[in-house]
A and B are shown apart, each in its own frame.
Chain A
Amino acid sequence: MTAGPGHFALLSSLVFGLGLFGVLTRRDAAGLLMSMLVLFTAPVIALVGFAHEGGGSAVPPTGDALAVFAVVAAATEAVAGIALLLLLWRRIGSGDASEFDDIAAPSDAEA
């Protein structure tokens, strides 16, 4: 018995759901960033499954290229997210995402 694209689709859905759960429930910025990385792993799993197990292996470079692009996009998001996290840490000294709302307060008051 072999695993087909449906198996990868199921796994991708579960990982997507878990990542979304983390994004919606975590309030620490670093945890939020990690949950987003989990979320971004889901489409890559689906892409690899469809490209290599769905009979589309006749043209694997296209599917692989899309998957590589998705991996690189997720990594870029992670690096930019870390930079943003450090910037916010320096500005407000907290990693709690709920406190980021206060950043806009001074400019609102000035306006």
Chain B
Amino acid sequence: MNAILFDMLAALVVAAAAGTVVQPRLRRAALALAGLALAVTVLFLSAGAYAVGIVEAVVALLTGAIAWGLLVRGRVYRGVLEVPPAAPRTRWVGGAVAGLLTLLLLVVFALSATDWHSGGAGAALVTVLHYRAVYALLLAIALVAVGAGVALLVGRTSDDEREADRAYESRLRREERERRRREDREAARRARGRREGQEA
């Protein structure tokens, strides 16, 4: 892969990743995450990993569509994105820990820079993942099925929650009606007062 192209894509990836973790507003952070997925997809395609690039793009689109449908279009859950950003009191601790671990990774990679193993026809580690690629793909499919099942199980709305939601919505409507009625009465009282003042 061309080094200049890599550098440009790497800069985009790092900028998007930084935007995702630093941006306090969730909508902007989500946009940065989408940019990260796009930049990583282009990086993979440029590196010749076409299958991984396509899977990354498809997975990012599907996950983004699910999140968009539930959090942005869904009336009930819109408030999840409207939570004011919490004050990051532990930012310096997190920065130090993340910096140290990143430094550790870099040192390990630098020390083993000349020891990249080119691999061979047979895998050295006889594990399910290394032995045959098809097992990894089958496991990935099983993981998707299990993940979707768990998500549906965890995220489902039970009968009592639906009942509570209905009660909550009817209470909101009732309060809204009462508020309007109060405002109308106030407006009528003010208008009557003005009229009586003019007549007097």
Q: Which residues of A contact B (CB under 8 A)?
A: 1-31, 34-35, 37-38, 41, 44-45, 48-69, 71-80, 82-87, 89-90, 93-98
Q: A3-B3, A22-B20, A80-B151 are in contact. Are A65 and B48 (CB under 8 A)?
A: no
Q: A25: which B residues are within 8 A, CB to CB?
A: 21, 88, 90-91, 94-95
A66/B66 in contact, CB under 8 A = no
Contact-residue size bin, chain B (C-beta under 8 Å from the other chain) = 35 or more
- A59 and B123 CA atoms in complex are apart in Å by 10
B98/A98 in contact, CB under 8 A = no
B51/A24 in contact, CB under 8 A = no
User: B188 an interface residue at 8 Å Cβ cutoff?
Assistant: no
User: B143 an interface residue at 8 Å Cβ cutoff?
Assistant: yes
- A9 and B106 CA atoms in complex are apart in Å by 8
Q: B172: which A residues are within 8 A, CB to CB?
A: none
Q: A41: which B residues are within 8 A, CB to CB?
A: 17, 36, 40
Q: A83: which B residues are within 8 A, CB to CB?
A: 150-155
B1/A2 in contact, CB under 8 A = yes
What is the interface of chain B mostly: helix, strand, loop, or mixed?
helix
Q: B187: which A residues are within 8 A, CB to CB?
A: none
Q: Measured between C-beta atoms, what is the minimum distance from B97 to chain A in Å?
A: 6
Return 18 A-B CB contacts under 8 Å, by A number.
A3-B2, A14-B102, A19-B17, A25-B90, A30-B71, A38-B33, A49-B47, A54-B118, A58-B118, A58-B121, A59-B119, A69-B140, A72-B143, A73-B143, A78-B67, A80-B154, A86-B80, A89-B77
A67/B49 in contact, CB under 8 A = yes
- A26 and B85 CA atoms in complex are apart in Å by 9
A84/B154 in contact, CB under 8 A = yes
